[in-house]
Amino acid sequence: MNVLEAMKGKAWLSATLLLAGLILLPFVVEPALGKSWMRIIDFALLYIMLALGLNIVVGYAGLLDLGYVAFYAVGAYCWALLSSPQFDLHLPFWIILPAGAMLAAGFGVLLGTPTLRLRGDYLAIVTLGFGEIIRIFLNNLNAPVNITNGPQGITLIDPITVGGFSLGKTQDVLGMSISSPHMYYYVFLLCVALVVFVSLRLENSRIGRAWVAIREDEMAAAAAGINTRNIKLLAFAMGATFGGLSGGLFASFQGFVSPESFNLMESIMILCMIVLGGMGNIPGVILGAILLTVIPEALRYTGELQRAMFGQVYVDPADLRMLLFGIALVLMMLFRPTGLLPSKQRKQEFAEERK
């Protein structure tokens, strides 16, 4: 019993330390590495949300969705249209953020419905098509009536503003000057916490089990009484909700959206975060999202390094990024096909102990 209590105490201690570390992180990163790294960390948080959303569809329910970025786009454009000079609407964030998430959920159901009978490769191809359709729509909805401003995108999007306090510019708080990425960091952190919480609760629930059952064997799941149609649509809707949420946050943070940001490569990157980190396992997915956001940025320095060493840039950092990325994926598939932190490992060990 004492051991158990001690463990509980330890868990609390590490949780508190983690929280403190996360809160203090910007105070270290920003002075040491600069504002650009603060932005990169903010993007890492956004990608964690996206990856966890896609994880529900791909990791839990096993539905290979290659058009996930469409929901990110829906959320982003929902915010951009309702809170920018485009239509001169400036609705508050507490309306548009949920609205964007809900709208994305609606699109999730809309795009999920025609794909219900498809599996594996076929599902992947159709969802890939849907993702592209959304992007192309956004690209072309500037004529005959200008809605999305086409390829130019929408600019001057409002930042999150709480009672006149804008997160879009540097503010003085308690005598400290806090930058915009620093403030957004806390907002994103809060949203990540929410998304992790929702994922955790759903994972260990009747619905979560039904998702995994469908992933494992759809026919057996139906024979076990699961309404596979509804449960699959629920997975699409939940995943899309997270996508819509991150999309809205992205639009407000960036202040600018254009269809360019929502191309196929984004969908693939988000999928890779899940595959690399560990499909269906929340810590794994988070790790994958962080690695795949931070490493490419770190590789940019290789350009400067090359210039310092050879006087010119031989390998473009962007090419290097794809090269290393390809090698990493091949190595992963060879040595750790279930990802860096695969799921169920813990339960497996527990089972062996019990025997």
Partner 1 sequence: MSNLLRVEHVTKHFGGIKALTDVSFTVRKGEIFGVIGPNGAGKTTLFNALTGLYQPDTGAIDLDGVSLYRRKPHQILKAGFARTFQNIRLFHNMTALENVMVGRHTRTTSGVLAALLHTKHNRQEERDCAAYALQLLDRIGIGKHANALAKNLSYGDQRRLEIARALASEPKLLALDEPAAGMNPNEKNALRDLMISLRDEGLTLMLIEHDVKLVMGICERMVVLDYGEKIAEGTPDEVRHDPKVIAAYLGGEVAA
DSSP letters spanning 203-242: HTSHHHHHHHHHHH-HHHHHHTT--HHHHHHHHHHHHHHH
Q: Minimum distance between the CB of residue 352 and partner 1, rounded to whole angstroms? A: 8
Give the one residue of 177, 265, 308, 354 binding partner 1; rule: CB under 8 A: 354
Residue 65: what are its φ and ψ, rounded to 5°?
Answer: -110, 115
Run of H or E residues at 160:
none
Give the one residue of 172, 176, 312, 355 binding partner 1; rule: CB under 8 A: 355
User: What is the spatial distance between Cα 45 and Cα 51, in angstroms, rounded to a whole number?
Assistant: 10
Q: In this structure, are residues 248 and 100 in contact, taking their beta carbons and an 8 Å threshold?
A: yes
Query: Residue written as tokens 């956001």?
Result: 293
Please list every residue from 233 through 252 that binds partner 1, using CB under 8 A. 234, 238
Interacting stretch for partner 1, rule CB under 8 A, among 106-114, 121-129, 194-202, 328-336? 194-202
Give the one residue of 207, 264, 294, 328 binding partner 1; rule: CB under 8 A: 207
User: What is the spatial distance between Cα 195 and Cα 47, in angstroms, rounded to a whole number?
Assistant: 12
Interacting stretch for partner 1, rule CB under 8 A, among 5-13, 165-173, 282-290, 340-348? 340-348
Q: Minimum distance between the CB of residue 145 and partner 1, rounded to whole angstroms? A: 37
| Cα angle value 264/208/111 (rounded, 5°) | 35
Interacting stretch for partner 1, rule CB under 8 A, among 127-135, 168-176, 203-211, 297-305? 203-211
Give CA separation, 246 vs 38, 46, 70, 224, 251, in Å: 17, 6, 12, 35, 9
Residues in the chain: 355
Interacting stretch for partner 1, rule CB under 8 A, among 16-24, 148-156, 265-273, 347-355? 347-355
Q: Is residue 113 a contact residue for partner 1 (CB under 8 A)? A: no
Give the one residue of 12, 13, 113, 217 binding partner 1; rule: CB under 8 A: 217
Q: Is residue 14 a contact residue for partner 1 (CB under 8 A)? A: no
Q: Residues interacting with partner 1, by CB under 8 A?
A: 198, 201-202, 205-210, 212-213, 216-217, 219-228, 234, 238, 344, 347-348, 350-351, 354-355
